[in-house]
Structure 1
Amino acid sequence: MPLHYEVVEPLTVPVNEFNENHIAVLLVVGNRYGGQWKIDVLSQRERSGEAAALGTIEAFHDHQRVNLTDSPRYPQLGLDTALIWLLTEAKEKGWRLLIWEDVSDQVPEDARKFTIGARVAFGGDQFVPAPAVVYADEALGTIKS
């Protein structure tokens, strides 16, 4: 179950992020401060330390439920929440979520409790799906209508 989240900055992907096949490959980077995650979508065209966020959410646990912040699963809940947000954004924009790849294992082990990451690829509104390929949105049961 994902965490509650609020959109701080709506997802806005500039046209130049999409390649000639109408695919944009972006980074999802989350950092936790106490129990709250700040999760940004960033361009891979710029170094992540310099990249401006293309969209941002803040995610947090419901204080009416058991305190989850000490759970080893809390970072995964942050990623799950980012995925739900991006699936929703893709559907609203008429895009496809092609790839969702957890890259948190590239974060130093002692920082994984507070830092999460993923690589995501969107097919824009002119993207032409390849025959017989199952994309992330289909695999996750959210086939584009």
Structure 2
Amino acid sequence: MPLHYEVPEPLRVPDAEFDENHIAVLLVVGNRYGGQWKVDVLSQRERPGEVAVLGTIEAFHDHQRDDLTDSPRYPQLGLDTALIWLLAEAKEKGWRLLSWENVSDQVPEDARKFTIGARVALGGDQFVPAPAVVYADEALGISMS
């Protein structure tokens, strides 16, 4: 079950983020402040001295469940919420969620309850699916049509 979330910065992926195969590989990074996650979708294209934020959500627990923030599952709930948001955004824009990889294990262990991360690949509106390949949106049981 995802957390409640708000979208202060809607997802905007410029055409330049997509490669010649209409695929954009993006980074999802979340940081927790108290019980609230701020999750940004970032460009992975190199821009010296610049981090391009392509969208942001703020996710938070039901305040009747204050014990939830102490749960070891809370970071995963933050990532699950970002995934749900990205699936909805992709569907709305006619894109495909091709892959989703949790990379939180690359965060130092003592910071994992406050920092989350994932790598995501999106297929743009001109993306041509390969035959017989099951993409993340299908594997998660989300109809993209």
TM-score, length of structure 2 as denominator length: 0.96
Gaps of 5+ in 1: none
**C-alpha contact (below 8 Å) 1:61/1:67 kept by paired residues:** no
Gaps of 5+ in 2: none
Identity %: 88
**C-alpha contact (below 8 Å) 1:42/1:48 kept by paired residues:** no
Q: Which residue of 2 aligns with 1:22?
A: 22
Alignment of 1:5-84 (within 5 A): 5-46=5-46, 50-65=50-65, 67-84=67-84
Number of residues of Structure 1 aligned to a counterpart in Structure 2: 145
Root-mean-square deviation (Å):
1.4
**C-alpha contact (below 8 Å) 1:59/1:78 kept by paired residues:** yes
Per the TM alignment, residue 63 of structure 1 is displaced from its structure 2 partner at its CA by 1.1
**Aligned residue type for 1:126:** Q
Distance in 2, Cα, partners of 1:98 & 1:57: 21
TM-score, length of structure 1 as denominator length: 0.96
**Aligned residue type for 2:2:** P
**Aligned residue type for 2:87:** L
**C-alpha contact (below 8 Å) 1:26/1:41 kept by paired residues:** yes
Q: Secondary structure at the match of 1:87?
A: helix
**C-alpha contact (below 8 Å) 1:28/1:118 kept by paired residues:** yes
